Amino acid sequence: MAIAAAISVPLTSPIRRRNSLILTGSSSSSSTIQLSFPKNNIAGLCPRFRISASAASSMSTQAPQKASTAPTSFLDRREAGFLHFVKYHGLGNDFILVDNRDSSEPRVTPEQAVKLCDRNFGIGADGVIFAMPGIDGTDYTMRIFNSDGSEPEMCGNGVRCFARFIAELENLNGRHSFTIHTGAGLIVPEILEDGKVRVDMGEPILKGSDVPTKLPANKDQSVIKSELDVDGVAWYVTCVSMGNPHCVTFGAKGGQNLQVDELDLAKIGPSFEHHEMFPARTNTEFVQVFSRSHLKMRVWERGAGATLACGTGACATVVAAVLEGHAERNCTVDLPGGPLQIEWREEDNRIYMTGPAEVVFYGSVPL
């Protein structure tokens, strides 16, 4: 059975009009490699590579030909049996973005999402995100399937990628904001002039039973710096929901300041995620304090494992740091993929997250 794929890799922001060099195969099972350059044909400057292949056995060179395929027309194609997508990342937390605006049902199943996210046999990603029609008066709806097929309520890095994806689909430039319906409620991202995305993440949920956690509340119905036994070790944890559950720890009982780079997340992460005290499982943030405005975090995400970044986790981390007295309300949070700026405003109790979202490549995959 022939397998076909197409990949376009941008090294800068998309450029709409291009000249191209096309190399095609001479056998009956052909290959095509298309290298697209800026309109002025300055070879080597900000190239975009578009690769398509189908069971190729050999290649030959033909004379240059013009090609006019642009990202917008690429996304508009609807060949039967193919999924067209754009891959984005937010500080290394990567997602397959799918234009699903014509239907309220995801174009792939959770089982297909697992295969797509596989880093050896699929595209490779932490999750698949669908841009869907808005409901309840919102502009759009965002749904996500994790790499294990589960569906989280929301994703902070994912919503920044979602905003950049919508701007590309709608051909928008400059500063724009959207209202997005998610499983965690209304989320409002705003694309800033520098290309970063600031997201109004809403108010944190601190009531223990709403996080949810079975740990007994120890302060105003909240679970703050409470002891949690994990594989025989007592950890101090604070539980926060950003529409999805988080367990934040700054270290074990009697331990020194946590050195997050020394943690074996693959060993301890699952024990937190599946702990009986978290009936909906949990995301877990391990946090090192540098100063009252500078934190470092590593995360074990529910349904995805160790990832390079977690936006909702960074928000929950700052909330927990404030509640435990480690930090002020405006912090830089260093993640393995890079920093996020998190502000928990006292005047409205809302959390604002600011960070990047970048295109990785465009592609097609048979379903």
Task: Label residue 342 exposed, middle or buried (CB < 10 Å: 0-12, 13-18, 19+).
Answer: buried
Residues 6+ away with beta carbon under 8 Å from 287:
248, 249, 250, 258, 260, 295, 296, 297, 317, 320, 321, 326
Q: Are 91 and 337 in contact (CB under 8 A)?
A: yes
* Cis peptide, bond prior to residue 212, ω within 30 of zero: yes
Q: How far is CA 323 from CA 50, 130, 189, 328, in A?
A: 49, 35, 26, 10
The number of beta carbons lying within 10 Å of the beta carbon of residue 200 is 18
β-strands 127-133, 93-99 pairing: parallel
Structure-token match 């096309």, residue found:
22
Catalytic positions, written as ranges: 155, 310
Cα R_g (the chain), whole angstroms:
22
Q: Tell me the C-alpha distance between 367 and 365, whole Å.
A: 6
Helix (H) or strand (E) holding 258: none
Q: How many helices (H) and strands (E) does the chain have?
A: 5, 22
